[in-house]
Structure 1
Amino acid sequence: MSEPIAYTVTIYTENNIGLLNRISAIFQRRHINIESINSSVSEIENVSKWTIVVKLQEDQMKKIIGQIEKQVEVIKAYFHTEDETIYQESCLFKIKSNFLFDEREQIETIIKDNNARIVTVNREFFVIEKSGRREELEILYRELSVFGIMQFTRSGRIAVTKDEMKISKMLEAFQH
C-alpha cells in the first residue's frame, strides 16, 4: 500500500444549508482527517467553490469524489496533487507592542525577511499578515513566537489548478 499524499479537493456546489455536514460526514465515516477547508464564491454567480485538503491514497480519493458527486447540490468535484495546483494560505499574528528598541528592530527584520506586512498598529499591539505555503507560515510563527504571540489564526488553503479546467463552460450552462 502506498504512502498517503496530500490532495487538494475542489468542489463546485449550489449554496445550500446542510451540505457542509453531509460532505464532512463522507470523510468522517472513513476516518479521514480534513487538513484544511475553505468555502468561497466561484467565478460563476450563485456557485460556491470549496477547497479541501486531505491526505490519503489515490484509490480512496477516487471513491470519496464519487460519494461527494452523489450529493444533489454538488455540480462537480475534482482532486489534484500539490504539483498540479498553485496554492496559498494566509495568517494573522497579533503581537504586543511594548518592546525594547532592539527587539523592535529584530521583529521588523523578521517581517521583511518573510515578506510579511504589518496591517494594524496601536499602543497595545500590532497585527502582521503573511500569505504563502504552510511551511513559510510555520517558519514565521516560530520566529515570532519568541516575542509572545497574543493571537494567531490561519486560513484554509485556496488553490487554482495549473492546467485549464473546463468547469467554467459547464458552470455557464448551469447559470442559465
Structure 2
Amino acid sequence: MKQQYTITVYAEDQIGLLARITIIFSRRKINIDSLNTSSSEIPGIHRFNIVIDETEEVVKKLCKQIEKQVEVLKAYYNLNSEIIWQELALYKVPTSQVTDKMIVERVLREHGARVVSINNDYTVFECTGHREETDKLVKLFEEYGLIEFVRGARVAIIKSSEGFHKKIKEFEAREPGEEVIENEFLNEQDSVFSM
C-alpha cells in the first residue's frame, strides 16, 4: 500500500549530486512531491528531504540506490508519524480586500499566520504548518481574491534518531580521514622538535 514517506539523505556537499539523486526517481517514474536541500549541523554535509508517495518496499530500494552514490553517507526513510515536519506558505491578497481589521486578526489568530508585507496593491501573509493547514488558508484567501500562492518544500527532523552528527563523530573517531591523520602526524613532529 502506498503511503507518504520522507526520505532524509545526508551527503557531502558536491556539485551534481542532486541531479544524480533525482534521476534515481525519474528512471523509476516516481514523482517527488517535495524536495528540500540545506546544509546540516555538520560542516560540509548537506541534508536532503524528499517526500514521495510509495510502498515501503520501493522506498527501501530507493534508499539503497541513493546510498550507492559515492558522496552519500546515509539515507533514512520515515512515515509522517515518525518525523516532526513543517512547510512554509506565502499568500498574496489584494490589500483592498483585507483592510478590515477583523479579517486580518481572525486569520492571524485562527491560522497562526503573520503579515510579511503590506503595500497599496497587496498584502502578503505567511503561514507555517502541515499541508492541510496551509491548504485551509488557500480556500479562505480565495474568498478575498487570492492573487498568488507558493508553498516551500518540507523541512523535517526524525523523532527517534540520536542525531546523525553523533554517528559521524563516532565514525571519524574509529576511521579518521587523511587530513586528520596528517594533522596528528604534524602535531607529533612539532612536539618532537620543540623538545
- Relative to the length of structure 2, the TM-score reads 0.83
Residues 1-176 of structure 1 aligned to structure 2 (within 5 Å)? 3-99=1-97, 102=100, 105-172=102-169, 173=172
Q: How many equivalent pairs are there?
A: 173
Q: 1:76 to 1:124 in 2, by over 3 A?
A: same
Distance 1:100 1:147 in 2: 7
Structure with the bigger RCO (C-alpha within 8 Å, sep 6+) is 1
* Shift of residue 107, structure 1, vs aligned partner: 4.0
Q: 1:101 to 1:120 in 2, by over 3 A?
A: closer
Structure 2 unaligned spans of 5+: 181-195
SS in structure 2 at match of 1:144: helix
Distance 1:100 1:15 in 2: 44
* Shift of residue 161, structure 1, vs aligned partner: 1.1
* Shift of residue 166, structure 1, vs aligned partner: 4.5
In the TM superposition, structure 1's runs of 4+ consecutive aligned residues that sit over 6 Å from their partners are none
* Shift of residue 93, structure 1, vs aligned partner: 0.8
Q: 1:6 to 1:19 in 2, by over 3 A?
A: same
* Shift of residue 170, structure 1, vs aligned partner: 2.9
CA contact (8 A) 1:12 1:76 kept: yes
Q: 1:100 to 1:170 in 2, by over 3 A?
A: closer
SS in structure 2 at match of 1:34: coil
Which has the larger share of helix? 2
Which has the larger share of strand? 1
Could you give the per-residue CA deviations for residues 49-93 of structure 1, whole angstroms, max 9, x where no partner exists?
A: 000101111111111000000001111110011111111000111
SS in structure 2 at match of 1:71: coil
CA contact (8 A) 2:98 2:104 kept: no
CA contact (8 A) 1:107 1:144 kept: no
* Shift of residue 34, structure 1, vs aligned partner: 0.4
Q: Which amino acid aligns with 1:130?
A: C
- Relative to the length of structure 1, the TM-score reads 0.91
Q: 1:119 to 1:38 in 2, by over 3 A?
A: same
